[in-house]
Amino acid sequence: MPSRRPHTPLLSTAFFALLAFAAAPAQTEDRKAALEEWGDSLCTWPSGVYAWTSKTRTDFVLPDEDGPFSGTGSFSITFTQGHPDILGTKTGSASISGHVRNQEDVVFTTIWNDPIGGPGEQLSIPLEPGATRTKSWSVTNPAEGGPCSFTHSWRLVFEREKRVYDIALKGKRALANLRTYPAFDPKTGAWLDVTHRFGFAFRYDFTVRVTLERRKKDWVFVNAVVTRADATASYEQDPEIYRVVSSRCTNCGKVRALAGTSLGGSTTGQSVQLSWPSALIPSATVSAVFAYQCAEGEGQATCERNRTETSSYFDQDTDFFNRARGHDIPLQDLPPPFSESSRTEIHSKTIIHDYRVRRVE
């Protein structure tokens, strides 16, 4: 009887379990994988019609980059038509060898370790989750085991390798206004110029969990979830010329509400960019009264009146998130904090973004 298995081997679908790196950045786990196959065959021989189905699975470890691999597994073949002595299921061992090519394809050869199997044929399938391939062929020459028809299907199934990072961001945007006032020094009896520095400091504290996924040769952005979000606006002055009556931050609550929400993002090389919301602009208002004692003499009445009148000051932060959206955050070898400052005759401004990155898995 001619060979019950065609010369083209029963090919397999690959099931890639691309395991994530261990929590320690310097260590990685094996990228375990499996190749699965199923096929249907029908031959019309002088001794009768023979039909069978087959399944093959081999397990192996993928190289981290391009390179060879090998592994072992098992096969089963079930004859549903043919001579009564051959009907039923036969099992045995199988092996696989191959290589990953350009992080684009898996090139492989599977072999049944049993005389019932023919020589293996080298084939390839894209290194993509859910990639499918179906091949149908026939053999007509009786000397080659025909007439027979075969159909085999392959499907590549795997979990992409992932990396998870916690990116912590602490920073502030502080604007200090500079105003000069005449002040009476009771110790010397002289009038002095006093420079009053006042303004709001908006402070932020975030943690964002970022997931990257390996696609071929690159690590690409999958998602980012804000796990911690806090914002405050504190009124600061030196010296304390005014006594604060009330102070409130508008939209600080909306900043805190970012916790549990997702951010967009992207990757460039070994860096991540986060898409912070553009419409979120914290603002703050303070109400205060003049706190200094009034000097006797000209202007005292006006000074006393000012001590009873409430004045207010307003500021909004359009800088912090705007700058953060433009940052490339290295996942290794973090630079010093992003910092910028400016100063004019009437104000000074400081913006700081201090990132910390921790590999989670």
Sequence ranges of the domains in the chain: 13-159, 163-359
Q: Is the CB of residue 352 less than 8 Å from the CB of residue 171?
A: yes
pLDDT classification of 29: cutoffs 50, 70, 90: low
pLDDT of 11 reads 29
- 15-24, 119-128, 247-256, 337-346, range with the lowest pLDDT: 15-24
Asked if residue 28 has pLDDT above 60, the reply is: no
Q: Provide CB contacts within 8 A for 56, sequence distance 6+.
A: 10, 11, 12, 35, 36, 37, 73, 74, 75, 76, 94, 110, 112
Mean of all residue pLDDT scores within the chain: 86
The span from the CA of 99 to the CA of 159, in Å, is: 19
Q: Look up tokens 């009896």; give the residue.
A: 189
Between 289 and 224, whose confidence is greater? Answer: 224
Question: For residue 213, which of 265, 280, 173, 286 has the smallest C-alpha distance?
Answer: 265
Average confidence (pLDDT) over 297-311: 78
- The residue type of 180 is T
pLDDT classification of 1: cutoffs 50, 70, 90: very low
pLDDT of 177 reads 94
pLDDT of 255 reads 97
Between 119 and 108, whose confidence is greater? Answer: 108
The maximal CA–CA distance of the chain, rounded, in angstroms, is 128
Alpha-carbon distances, residue 77 vs 53, 169, 256, 340 (angstroms): 6, 58, 61, 70
Asked if residue 185 has pLDDT above 80, the reply is: no
Q: Is the CB of residue 131 less than 8 Å from the CB of residue 123?
A: no
* Helix, strand, coil share of the chain (percent; to 5): 5, 60, 30
Asked if residue 245 has pLDDT above 80, the reply is: yes
Average confidence (pLDDT) over 93-113: 92
The whole-model pTM stands at 0.73
pLDDT digits (tens, 9 = 90+) for 144-169: 888 999 998 888 878 788 999 999 99
pLDDT classification of 26: cutoffs 50, 70, 90: very low
